[in-house]
Amino acid sequence: MNKIDKIVDTACYVGNISLKDFKSRSRERHIVDIKRMTYSIVRETLNIPFTKMAKHFRVNHATIIHHCKLNRELLETDSYYYKKYTTIYELVKSDLNLVDVKELTNLIQRLNTNKLIKSKLNQQLTKFYNNEEIITKRESTETS
């Protein structure tokens, strides 16, 4: 089974539609939404050209382009659509062992920031304890 088929299977499972429904020419909203999400996820995760996607799905490449544009708009305006899309996208990423470059970059930046904060804190603690030792030594010499 290739990656596109895995994405289609995952989308059909989450959308609770059959593969037959997915391949049909149905214009029912829930079926078209799953197709739209699938086209967009395939494009985002696998970076396949529109023409190759169109051949695989047996539709015109303009259909794929249209659905990808509409997907972006729906993600911004429809919260139910967004939740379903996110669910499919996360399942696909884990199923295909994909790593999102943006997520990875953010994680590295957070780790670097944490290291920097840790280093500064360590320096401050060292300075503090060295200062305490100096004060303690001064107090002991003053009392003697």
Tens-digit pLDDT profile for the chain (144 aa)? 689 999 999 999 999 999 999 999 999 999 999 999 999 999 999 999 999 999 999 999 999 999 999 999 999 999 999 999 999 998 998 888 776 677 778 888 888 888 888 888 888 888 877 776 555 566 666 665
Are both 81 and 118 inside the same structural domain? no
Are both 81 and 112 inside the same structural domain? no
Are both 17 and 88 inside the same structural domain? yes
CA geometry: angle 94, 99, 105, nearest 5 deg? 145
Name residue, tokens 């049909």: 24
Are both 7 and 78 inside the same structural domain? yes
Q: Is the dihedral of CA 78, 81, 83, 85 positive or negative?
A: negative
Are both 115 and 51 inside the same structural domain? no
Q: Can you tell me the distance from the alpha carbon of 140 to that of 144, in angstroms, rounded to the nearest whole number?
A: 6
Are both 19 and 72 inside the same structural domain? yes
Are both 110 and 89 inside the same structural domain? no
As a dihedral over the C-alpha atoms of residue 43, residue 83, residue 88, residue 50, rounded to 10 degrees, the angle is: -10
Are both 127 and 67 inside the same structural domain? no
Are both 91 and 117 inside the same structural domain? no
Residue 131, domain extent = 99-144
At 48 the pLDDT is 93
Are both 74 and 125 inside the same structural domain? no
Query: Residue 82 belongs to a domain with what CATH number?
Result: 1.10.1750.10
Are both 59 and 111 inside the same structural domain? no
DSSP state, residue 106:
H
Are both 124 and 86 inside the same structural domain? no
